[in-house]
């Protein structure tokens, strides 16, 4: 990026933390330089590289210890760590993840929880929506919901919805009942049931299989994938709606089919969500971290 956070060039690699840490022939610096080498001028030293995500995990490049909620964006940037690099052309900063430590019985938002990478998206979101108060959803394999108020992330909750859906639809007995047909009404019905009968989740799952076995008419069988998806996303959303306070709103960071499903599930309960593109939000967060880091180093 240039100094005004305009993107000058982009590159990406499929190599994540586990692939790099698990291969003797790969190093984090090597993978980074392999991606950006062509952009680096041998005459210019210490080009700032700002990194978020699993590179800062204990098994990553260099551990950037978690910041604990409640946290403001500038606190996060000040927790960045700098691994020693062999290449003099770059100066690397790895941003910390975010954690939440149990606060004891009764403090329902205080469950043990962690994120790495999503906190930078949240910073980008907050930068673009400075007056936002409510819950920001980052759907995915492990969906993150963060409560934002007064310019701080005050609490967050991770839901294993994406991973549970994948395991159930691909590896459980339900894999035989999950076809490609989709049915909005079946999805909405499952979302509604998840809120009125959240304790029935493990039973509702089995109806995906049983519906096809007991139907007297195959046209009566609701779409298995829609019911499964509605049950899982519906349970996650029901839990957040129970925590939504007056005056708080919901924002959804993401695009494509998954974000649409979350919007549809929220709409079942009469909720509309502000939706934003995840890629732009991440760049905004990294850019803001860079601004904070460079101002801090100028003060030194």
Strand blocks (E) in 78-191: 90-94, 98-100, 113-115, 134-138, 143-149, 152-159
Choose which of 80, 92, 155, 235 interacts with a copy of itself (CB under 8 A). 235
Residue 113 interacting with a copy of itself (CB under 8 A): yes
Q: Which of 126, 153, 225, 232 binds a copy of itself (CB under 8 A)?
A: 232
64 binds a copy of itself (CB under 8 A): no
Which residue from 200, 253, 252 is spatially nearest to 231, judged by alpha carbons?
200
CA distance 225 to 106: 36
C-alpha–C-alpha distance, residues 273 and 237, integer Å: 12
| Whether the Cβ atoms of residue 118 and residue 72 lie closer than 8 Å to each other | no
Stretch that binds a copy of itself, among 84-92, 105-113, 120-128, 269-277 (CB under 8 A): 105-113
For the CB of residue 131, give the shortest distance to a copy of itself in the complex, in Å. Answer: 27
Q: Are 96 and 57 in contact (CB under 8 A)?
A: no
Strand order across the 67-68 sheet: 67-68, 98-100, 113-115
Sign of the alpha-carbon dihedral angle for 118, 123, 124, 130: positive
Q: Which is nearer to a copy of itself, 239 or 248 (CB)?
A: 239
Assess 63 for contact with a copy of itself (CB under 8 A): no
3-state DSSP call for residue 224?
helix
Interaction between residue 158 and a copy of itself (CB under 8 A)? yes
Q: Count residues binding a copy of itself (CB under 8 A).
A: 50
Instruction: Tell me: does residue 300 bind a copy of itself (CB under 8 A).
Output: no
Identify which range of 14-22, 47-55, 194-202, 269-277 contacts a copy of itself by CB under 8 A: 194-202
Q: By CB under 8 A, which span of 33-41, 127-135, 208-216, 274-282 interacts with a copy of itself?
A: 208-216
Interaction of residue 172 with a copy of itself, rule CB under 8 A: yes
Does 199 sit near a copy of itself (CB under 8 A)?
yes
Structure tokens at 37: 């080498």
Q: Is residue 223 part of the contact set for a copy of itself (CB under 8 A)?
A: no
206 near a copy of itself, rule: CB under 8 A: yes
C-alpha to C-alpha distance for 137 and 255, rounded to whole angstroms:
12
Considering beta carbons, is residue 189 or 254 the nearer one to a copy of itself?
A: 189
| DSSP-derived secondary structure letter, 275 | E
Q: Is 125 in the site for a copy of itself (CB under 8 A)?
A: no
243-282 mask for a copy of itself (x: CB under 8 A)? ----------------------------------------
CB neighbours of 199 closer than 8 A, spacing ≥ 6?
Answer: none
Is residue 133 a contact partner of residue 247, using CB atoms and an 8 Å limit? yes
Is 205 a residue that touches a copy of itself (CB under 8 A)? yes
Q: Which of 217, 289, 242, 290 is nearest to 48 (CA)?
A: 290
Window 28 to 57, contacts with a copy of itself (CB under 8 A): none
The Cα-based distances of 46 to 72, 283, 291 in angstroms read 27, 20, 16
Binding a copy of itself (rule: CB under 8 A), the pick from 202, 219, 270, 300 is 202
Both structure tokens of 231:
């049950």
Binding site for a copy of itself (CB under 8 A): 66, 99-102, 108, 111-114, 142, 157-161, 163-164, 167-168, 171-174, 194-195, 197-207, 209-211, 213-216, 232, 235-236, 238-239, 242
């Amino acid at each position: 990026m240039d100094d005004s956070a305009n993107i000058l060039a982009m590159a990406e690699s499929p190599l994540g933390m586990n692939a790099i840490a698990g291969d003797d022939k790969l190093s984090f610096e090597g993978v980074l330089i392999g991606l950006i080498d062509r952009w680096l001028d041998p005459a210019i030293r210490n080009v700032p590289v700002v990194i978020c995500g699993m590179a800062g995990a204990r098994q990553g490049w260099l551990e950037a210890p978690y910041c604990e909620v409640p946290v403001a964006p500038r606190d996060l940037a000040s927790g960045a760590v700098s691994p020693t690099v062999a290449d003099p052309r770059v100066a690397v900063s790895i941003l910390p993840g975010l954690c939440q430590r149990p606060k004891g019985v009764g403090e329902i938002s205080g469950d043990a929880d962690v994120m790495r990478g999503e906190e930078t998206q949240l910073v980008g979101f907050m930068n673009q929506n400075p007056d936002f108060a409510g819950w920001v959803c980052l759907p995915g394999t492990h969906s993150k919901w963060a409560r934002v108020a007064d310019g701080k992330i005050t609490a967050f909750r991770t839901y294993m919805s994406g991973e549970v859906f994948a395991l159930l639809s691909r590896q459980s007995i339900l894999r035989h009942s999950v076809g490609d047909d989709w049915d909005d009404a079946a999805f909405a019905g499952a979302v509604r049931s998840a809120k009125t009968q959240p304790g029935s989740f493990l039973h509702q799952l089995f109806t995906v299989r049983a519906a096809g076995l007991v139907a007297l008419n195959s046209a009566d069988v609701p779409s298995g994938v829609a019911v499964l998806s509605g049950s899982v996303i519906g349970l996650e959303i029901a839990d957040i709606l129970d925590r939504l306070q007056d005056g708080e709103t919901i924002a959804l960071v993401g695009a494509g089919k998954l974000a649409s499903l979350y919007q549809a599930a929220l709409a079942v309960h009469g909720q509309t969500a502000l939706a934003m593109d995840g890629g732009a939000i991440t760049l905004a967060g990294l850019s803001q971290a860079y601004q904070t880091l460079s101002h801090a180093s100028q003060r030194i």
